[in-house]
Amino acid sequence: MKKLTILGSTGSIGVSTLDVVAAQPDLFKVIALTAGNNLELLKSQIEAYQPELVSVLTANNARTLSRMLTGKKPEIMHGVEGMIAAATATGTNMVVAAIVGAAGLIPTYAAIKAGKDVALANKETLVTAGHLVMNLVKEKGVKLYPVDSEHCAVFQSMCGHRDQDIARVILTASGGPFLKWGKEQLAQATVADALNHPNWSMGRKITVDSATMMNKGLEVIEARWLFDIPVERIAVNIHPQSIIHSMVEYIDGSVMAQLGVPDMKGPIAYALTYPARVPSGVKPLDLTTLSGLTFFNPDTDRFPALKLAYRAAGEGESMPAVMNAANEIAVDAFLNGRIGFMAIPESIEKVMDLHQAHQLKSIEEVLEADRWGRAKAKEVLGVQ
């Protein structure tokens, strides 16, 4: 039986993970959950899955949650200390890292350090600290299973093949809600427009990242570390139908792809049960109902965030951490109505231009680069 900690249980990935757990109760036991401010949903999760430990964002949230619960209560912690305690809980043998943003780095790193296998949905862990994380994975001999649908598809398409036979990794992207919008339209895009994703149901931050195509850029950097492949051999194809989740091209001209309806329960279930497969609650794909599958290259003139991510990957060192930090600040400012949509990539580029990439030798140095990027982004945007 897999004993799970779910970091970010009230987010979209966390909720889908618990749907998979509910469908296979004999395979999984929930040991610990972490969440931010959604205490009502967390309360219902605690009642349904009876974890031993939960952690929330603040001490006040912890007190409020304790008052909301009746009967036997789990241990309730808060803050970074609570996230680390959940990630390293003695009874846990797999951690689902589903916290959005750079905030997921510390507990995920702590889980690996404690010898836990990780189902990774938090791409920022590898974007900001890829070489440190992968070195620790090797040192501890743990497994890192990709949960992002694209990386899970690559992982499946590589199974049974030799690394030296891989020519390219091809990540697919839906194109988001602005696939056919011109630059003038994009300048007027509202928050509601950006959150209207045509295929996927995701959290607000990730949905905006999909709209700018920064999400795909982050995935390129994540793939570089997950699969130990140079970024120059990682391509992006726009695939509006979101049926082929990604592909691997081999040196003999063959291309292996993984197909399925767009539902995160599929890759989550595969990460939790690999190498087995179990019913996940995902509707089977009926190819006869599809009118066609189309692919084309991304337009980095309209969506410069993808180009910025490739630049950050090329410069390496501290630049991806700074880029990610600037993106998180800019997306938050957009969601709160402080800046326009196109100001997101514009501000990220300005922050990157101000940064001199340098080597990161520790997680503390990664966090310092993250802090610098956030402070500089706020300065560039004129927000607090």
Domains of the chain: 2-146 (3.40.50.720)
Q: In angstroms, rounded to a whole number, what is the distance separating the alpha carbons of residues 113 and 370?
A: 21
3-class secondary structure, 55 = strand
In order of 112, 152, 162, 230, the CA distances from 167 in angstroms are: 30, 18, 11, 11
Pairing assessment for the beta strands 244-250 and 166-173 based on DSSP bridges: antiparallel
pLDDT averaged per 10 residues, the chain (length 384): 97 95 96 96 98 98 96 95 97 95 94 98 96 98 97 97 97 94 95 89 88 96 97 97 97 98 96 96 93 95 97 97 98 96 98 97 97 98 89
3-class secondary structure, 40 = helix
The 10 Å Cβ neighbour count of residue 79 is 15
Within a 13 Å sphere around the CA of 233, how many CA atoms are in the beta-carbon half? Answer: 17
Q: For residue 344, what pLDDT is reported?
A: 98
pTM of the entire predicted model: 0.95
Q: Where are the alpha helices (DSSP H) in the chain?
A: 12-23, 39-49, 59-68, 79-87, 105-113, 124-140, 149-158, 183-187, 191-194, 204-212, 214-226, 265-273, 304-315, 319-335, 343-354, 363-381
Q: For residue 80, what pLDDT is reported?
A: 96
- Beta carbons of 207 and 197 less than 8 angstroms apart: yes
- Beta carbons of 294 and 323 less than 8 angstroms apart: no
In order of 49, 110, 112, 278, the CA distances from 84 in angstroms are: 20, 6, 11, 30
